[in-house]
Amino acid sequence: MEKDLEKMPELFGSMVFNEETMKEELSEASFTAWKECVTEGKTLDLATANEIAEAMKQWAVSKGATHFTHWFQPMTGATAEKHDSFIRPTGGGKIIMEFSGKELVKGEPDASSFPSGGLRSTFEARGYTAWDPTSFAFVKEDSLYIPTIFCSYSGEALDKKMPLLRSMEVVSNSAVRILRLFGDTETKRVTAQVGPEQEYFLVDKKLYNQREDLRLAGRTLFGAKPPRGQEMEDHYFGMIKPRVSAFMEDLDRELWKVGVLSKTKHNEVAPAQHEMAPIYSDANTACDHNQLAMELMKKVADRHGFVCLIHEKPYEYVNGSGKHDNWSLSTDSGENLFKPGKTPSKNARFLLFLAAFVKGVDEYQDFLRATVASAGNDHRLGAQEAPPAVMSIFLGDDLTAVVDALINDDKSYHDSKKKTLEIGVDVLPEIRQDNTDRNRTSPMAFTGNKFEFRMLGSSQSISGPNIVLNTMMADELDQFADELEKADDFKKALSSLIKRVFTEHKRIIFNGNGYTDEWIEEAEKRGLANLKSSAEALPAYVSEKNEALMIRHGIYTKEEMDARGAVHMENYAAVLNIEGRTMVDMSKKQILPAVSAYAAKVAKRAELKKGAGASASYESTLVKDLGDLTDKLADKTSALEKTLDSAPEGDKEAMFYFHDSVLPAMAEVREYADQLEVLTDKEAWPFPTYSDLLFSER
Ligand code: ADP
Ligand code: MG
C-alpha cells in the first residue's frame, strides 16, 4: 500500500483531460476561452472548439484511445454512450485519426430507445448531445469519454445533467444576491458542493449466477431468514477479507485514474456490505463521478470473481444500501456558507442560509421525498438502519438551542453574558458537531458544515435530489432577498426575518430517534408528510406546488416535469412486473419441481421404513407438510401470475395497481416458498440460500 501512495499523485487523474492537461495542451487563447466558458458561461466559437477537439484527440490517442463517445445520463438514471472511432479513411486503404470541434460539441445519438415520458412523441425521435465543458473528459477502456447533456431538437431536457446544471446556476445567482446584502462585492459564483457516499454489497459470482432473481431483478425475491444475520455487529469497520481488500485496492486505482477522489473504504453494517465515499466536489462533477463509480464497482468486482449489487435491498433481514448525499454551498473563494463563522456578520449570514434551508425542506418535504422514491428504495426506507419516509431535519442540540433562543427571545440563553443572542451583533456560541445515534436516524442531518440527505437509494442518480435541493434553496433565498433588499434597516429586517422563519418552520426540526413509532405519531401531529411508498410519494413529484417551483426557476417546463413523473411511475411498474414474473418463473420451474422431487424421495424412504416396521413419523410428517405447502405455493403462484396478467395500462393506474395488488401477491408466494426452504434438504434446494450468499466473501 505504501508503494501505491507514492504513485498516487501520478496515477490520480492520469486518464483525465483536466485543467492542468488543458493548460499544457491548449494555446493560451483557447485555454482562456474554455476557462471563461466554465466560470462565466461565455460561449465557445467553433475555431476554439476545433482546437480543443484536436488537443483532446491527440492526448486521448496517447492514452491508447481509438474511439470517442458522448457520455450522457438519460432519465433512466444510468449512463449511456455511443462510441465512434477516430478513424477516417483517406483513400488507398489508409486512415487518419480525426476528431473535429463539431464532433466534440454536438453529437446525435438516436434517442428513440430512451424513456422520455412521452416528450418525444410530438417531436422527431431523435435528440442530440452537447458537450458539458464544466466536467472533464476522460479515457476509459480505449475510448475518450466526453460528458454531455442530452436534449431534444426543440431543447427539452431528456437527461439528468441539463436540469442539474440549470439548478446550480439558479442557486448561484440567488446566493450571490444574498451575499451582496452582506456587503460581499467579490463573490461571482456560489457552487453547490456534493459528496455522495455509496453503499454496495459484494456476492460471489458463482452463487449469483445460480440466482435468477439476482440476475434479473438485482435483489433476492426468495430466501428464509439465515441463522446468522448482522446481529454480531462484527462486520462494521471490521477486518476486510483479503479478496475484498484486493477488489477495493483495484477499484480505488481505477477510480483515481479517472479522477474520482475515492477516499474511504470500510465494511458496512450488514455482512458483505461496503461503502465508498469520495471527497466532495461541485454537484455536477459529483454526479458524473458517482455514475462512474457505480459502473466501475461492477466492472472491477467482475475481475475479482464478485458481483457488485447496488440495489437498495438485495436481502431481506439485513440492512439495505443507501447513498448519503452530503450537500453544501461554497463561494468561488472557497468559503462554505453553512459553516458557523467566528464573527457576528458571518454568523448572521450562516443563520440566514440555515433559515432558507429549513424553510425549503419544510415546504418541499414531499418533493424531496419523491426524488428518492423507487421500487427498490421502498424496501429500505423505514426498515433496518434507514431513515423513515417522514422528512425532518436534525440540527443537533447546540444549534437547536440557538434556534430556540432566537424564536423565544430567550433572555437566559447566553447565560455567561446574561443577554439575548442578537443576530448580527453577537457571535454564536460554539456549535459542536453532533454525531450521536439520534443523528444517524435522521433523513437530513446537519453535520457541522453541510447537510447529509440520507434517504437516497444506493442505485439512483444523485441528480434529482440535488436539483430539488438547489432549486428550493434558490427560491427561498430569492424570497429573502426580495424582502431584505427593500428594508430600511437591514440588521433589524434580517433579525425579524430569521426569527419569523424559524418560528414558522420549526416543526421540520427533529433531534430525537427517527426510528421509533412515537416519532411517526408525533410527525403526524406536526402535520409532516409520511409518504410510505413510491406510489404515495411519486404523485407529489408532479403536484402543482412542486411543478411551479421548477417552472418558476426555468429548471423544467411543465411538459418536462410531467414527463419525468411519468418515467418514474412507469419505471416503478416495470420493475415490479419483472420481479413478479421472475418469482413466478422461479417458483414454477425451480422451487416446485425441486421440492416435489425431494418429497418423493422422502415418501419412498417412509415406505421402506414402514416395511421394516418403523413408524416413519418423521418422513410422513415431512411429506405431508411439503405436500401442503407445495399446493399452497402452486396456488399463490397462479394467483400472482393472474394478477400480473391483469395489470392496467397507464402510468399512474399501473403504479397503484402494482403497489396495491401485485406486491401483496408476491409476498404470499414468498411466504410459502421460504417455509419450504426451511423444510427442504439443502442439497435439494434449487439455488444458494441467504447463508451462502451473505457469507460468501472470503
Ligand atoms: P461522515 O463520516 O460524518 O459521514 P465524512 O467526513 O466522511 O463524514 O464525509 C462524508 C462525505 O461528505 C464525504 O464525501 C465528504 O467529502 C463530504 N463532505 C465533507 N464536507 C462537505 C461539504 N462541505 N459539502 C459537501 N460534502 C462534504
Ligand atoms: Mg454519512
Give per-residue pLDDT as tens, 606-663: 999 999 999 999 999 999 999 999 999 999 999 999 999 999 998 899 999 999 999 9
Q: Encode pLDDT of 11-33 as tens digits.
A: 889 999 999 999 999 999 999 99
Ligand 1 pocket member 322 (CB < 6 A)? no
Question: Are 167-556 and 571-694 the same fold in CATH?
Answer: no
Predicted confidence band at 43 (pLDDT cuts at 50, 70, 90)? confident
Counting atoms of ligand 1 from 1, which one is nearest the CA of 435? 3
CB 392 within 8 A of CB 514: yes
What's the 2 CA to ligand 1 centre distance in angstroms?
A: 25
State the average pLDDT over residues 139-154: 89
State the average pLDDT over residues 469-481: 98
Say which residue the cell 458557523 belongs to. Answer: 340
Best substitution site from 324, 450, 456 to test ligand 1's pocket, by max atoms within 8 Å of Cβ? 450
Mean pLDDT, all residues of the chain: 91
The verdict on domain 167-556 having CATH code 3.40.50.1010 is no
Check residue 5 and give left, alpha or beta (phi > 0: left; psi -120 to 50: alpha): alpha
Q: Encode pLDDT of 405-442 as tens digits.
A: 999 887 666 545 556 678 888 888 888 888 888 888 89
Q: Which residues pair with 308 in a beta bridge?
A: 202
Closest of 471, 436, 468 to residue 453, by C-alpha: 468
User: Is the pLDDT reported for residue 1 higher than 50?
Assistant: no
Write down the pLDDT at residue 122: 44
Best substitution site from 265, 285, 325, 326 to test ligand 1's pocket, by max atoms within 8 Å of Cβ? 326
- Name the CATH superfamily, with its identifier, for domain 2-159: Glutamine synthetase, N-terminal domain (3.10.20.70)
Stated pTM of the model: 0.94
Counting atoms of ligand 1 from 1, which one is nearest the CA of 280? 16
The rounded distance, in Å, linking the Cα atoms of 349 and 179 is 8
State the average pLDDT over residues 160-177: 96
User: Can you tell me whether residue 94 is helix, strand or coil?
Assistant: strand
Cα-based angle 218, 221, 224 (whole degrees, multiple of 5): 125
The rounded distance, in Å, linking the Cα atoms of 282 and 610 is 75
Q: Encode pLDDT of 276-328 as tens digits.
A: 999 999 999 999 999 999 999 999 999 999 999 999 999 999 999 999 999 99
- Quote the cell numbers at residue 154: 426543440
Say which residue the cell 431468514 belongs to. Answer: 225
Ligand nearest, relative to CA of residue 199: 2
The verdict on domain 571-694 having CATH code 1.20.120.1560 is yes
CB 70 within 8 A of CB 58: no
Percent of the chain with pLDDT over 90: 71
Nearest CA to ligand 1 atom 8: 447
Report domain extents, the chain. 2-159, 167-556, 571-694
Q: What are phi and psi of 394, to 5 degrees?
A: -95, 125
CB 14 within 8 A of CB 259: no
The rounded distance, in Å, linking the Cα atoms of 140 and 147 is 13
Antiparallel, parallel or unpaired: β 80-85 and 67-72: antiparallel
Predicted confidence band at 2 (pLDDT cuts at 50, 70, 90)? very low
Nearest CA to ligand 1 atom 7: 277
Counting atoms of ligand 1 from 1, which one is nearest the CA of 449? 23
Q: How many CB atoms lie within 10 A of CB 236?
A: 14
In sequence order, which residues have a C-beta less than 8 Å from that of residue 345 and are 6 or more positions away?
182, 183, 424
CB 285 within 8 A of CB 192: no
Nearest CA to ligand 1 atom 17: 195
Largest CA distance in the chain: 103
Specify the higher pLDDT residue, 412 or 229: 229
Crossing angle, helix 490-505 and helix 463-486, to 10 degrees? 140
Write down the pLDDT at residue 239: 64
Write down the pLDDT at residue 218: 97
Ligand 1 pocket member 193 (CB < 6 A)? yes
Ligand 1 pocket member 277 (CB < 6 A)? yes
Q: Encode pLDDT of 513-523 as tens digits.
A: 998 999 999 99
The rounded distance, in Å, linking the Cα atoms of 374 and 623 is 41
Closest of 68, 60, 51 to residue 18, by C-alpha: 60
User: Can you tell me whether residue 496 is helix, strand or coil?
Assistant: helix
What's the 114 CA to ligand 2 centre distance in angstroms?
A: 33
Q: What are phi and psi of 197, to 5 degrees?
A: -90, 130
What's the 522 CA to ligand 1 centre distance in angstroms?
A: 30
Specify the higher pLDDT residue, 350 or 105: 350
The rounded distance, in Å, linking the Cα atoms of 241 and 246 is 9
Ligand 1 pocket member 434 (CB < 6 A)? no
Closest of 246, 283, 263, 30 to residue 163, by C-alpha: 283
State the average pLDDT over residues 238-258: 86
Ligand 1 pocket member 279 (CB < 6 A)? yes
Q: Where are the beta strands (DSSP E) in 112-161?
A: 127-131, 137-140, 143-152
Predicted confidence band at 9 (pLDDT cuts at 50, 70, 90)? confident
Write down the pLDDT at residue 22: 95
